[in-house]
Structure 1
């Protein structure tokens, strides 16, 4: 399975309070993840904290902030683990660091309040706690009480109650992090905490009281029952929700959204925005904000669209929105920055989107934007005046025989003027001095691609090809050089071209070593691709057969330039011997 699949199963196990299974699944997610993922360590830290394994929770939390030091919620994990270890000073620093990074981090604010309260020594009145928790029938009473019977099935909670027999004051700190203790105390003291709920029943937990595992692919739920991670202030039961009214508001919101969509398709963006705003007022679903941002985007109001999308992300975190919806918000922020040509910010938000949910379309946009950024940076660096300075500096180094610095200077020239063929040709000359002939050949190819009539680049390429014994290729390059020189320079470089041509031709079929026999040289020549092509040519076969019977006839054939060239190649190869 993939890391994301393991993570989703881990989330489900956490929600079911099967913490050992959740830890195992998040461990597997970490193992198969392509790169270190701070969210996975954050989630496993929460599992450890829920299991009261605070040392392990701290290790994962520290790894989380190591991977993503700018993620404020990672410091919530660190602080929660420190709090569980009763290291109040460290916990306080952790929550303060989280708030430095994100002043709106609600969990950090509440956690800091609990830590500071614990540090100040705030204690509840004894209320007979010592006698209450020393009662030998305590567990039996709680098991028989319908309000606490299910709680007594948790062996960890039972062990905690036994601990309070010897240390009842330890209850002060645990009351902040385990709301079950408040229910137990109320049952022991005869207080009914549920009298505010309809029908005398305890209200159900609201979504905001679930565990909040920050994620890159699915919003996790916030643990409140057993975790010391991100302690909650005053664990108050949520007020009952009017289901019918909620359903009606959502229905009206969806109607307003549909009207907005219709107006959007008609390019009536202002009217569409009004309907999306109405939908958001009726029911908090960040899809409406995403839709509003799309209308603002089409208007060209990119800054406003970014503000809307940032609001969507922030509200989405609070509302436990689907990770795919939050990913879409980040991707659309990236689109806005892309339109504004701010490619760095666009890349940042495309990456954030992919952290939430890996999407092929967004990944393609990221790759394309990275290429555009590179091109933008290259274009921004272009400066003809600086290029000329670099060229003169490279020339000076070349004359002094300082080939490495000449290469550096010509490289700078190329960056400053990438369309100037001289930079590539000059660098090729310096590279050849450093015996880096393949690189020199490559630079010469770039030079002639910029300026096909640049004869000097062809000559330098042929020289490098001869150096690496690519004689046939060098001859082809020199043929092009001769043609271009005749056309552009009126043959100014023909003498140099002919000298290189003769050198390539003469060395092409020379023995490769001193002990190579003429027969071995002949066999090697016959393996040459050009020689093989000539020998297989039916026209040349006919000419050679005729020449064997009438050598004088060959003089007539070599008046044809193509035939002459082929005959010369065969002579050089030793296939045709002259007296």
Structure 2
């Protein structure tokens, strides 16, 4: 009896409607799919029970339909509802970012794309979107474009690297990858982080800095205490002209190793490009205190001091 009751309850009815919506979506019948997802949402909400993960997926799916038919405002509303139920879910983050971008709300789009890269740095759509928005905002607002951004949320570690683009529903449980897979030990994660870092090093030597940065990002998801991974990614960001990100990575490296010469030098390079000459000089002076004979540091210091005048 209990099994029959569950099978005929609101959750089962919603699942059936969701399946019908998915099929309609796959055939490009987006308006009809909206109707099925809306019915499913209504069934769950009317039941009075709490179905956060199921509702989050349904709102995200309906948002995908709205995005396809150009109803960006309703797409944003549904993605926001989805994220309120399951914070930092990847699909609604990227869909909302795309809708913001279509509406030329580039600052909000950048924040969502950037947040998505913090959740999972391997998702190319998020990386590409963030880079597009950065370019647009730099053209629009100049070098100080970041000053006009809405607050950037900090993604808790528990939500990082959980979401996979092809995972059904993309809901997850809020557990880390290591918690989800009991057979993955801390040592194997460190080994994987090392392998990813070495892959990044190979790509740097080939001049493929964007791909290398992605490898370093994936490595840092597994081991955020490796100083050289931050300085290596900072080098990539310098070559990609992502100077703010380079500064952030060098600062993270210096928190782990306050005497790291590469971190001081690369942060000085980035600050020079950002026209923060005072900060650049301070970094180089600290570096030369540690290694007075460093010729590269001396040359850059002379160059920045001339610019500062």
* Common topology (TM > 0.5): no
Question: Relative contact order (C-alpha < 8 Å, sep 6+): which is higher?
Answer: 2
Bigger radius of gyration: 1
TM-score, normalized by length of structure 2? 0.44
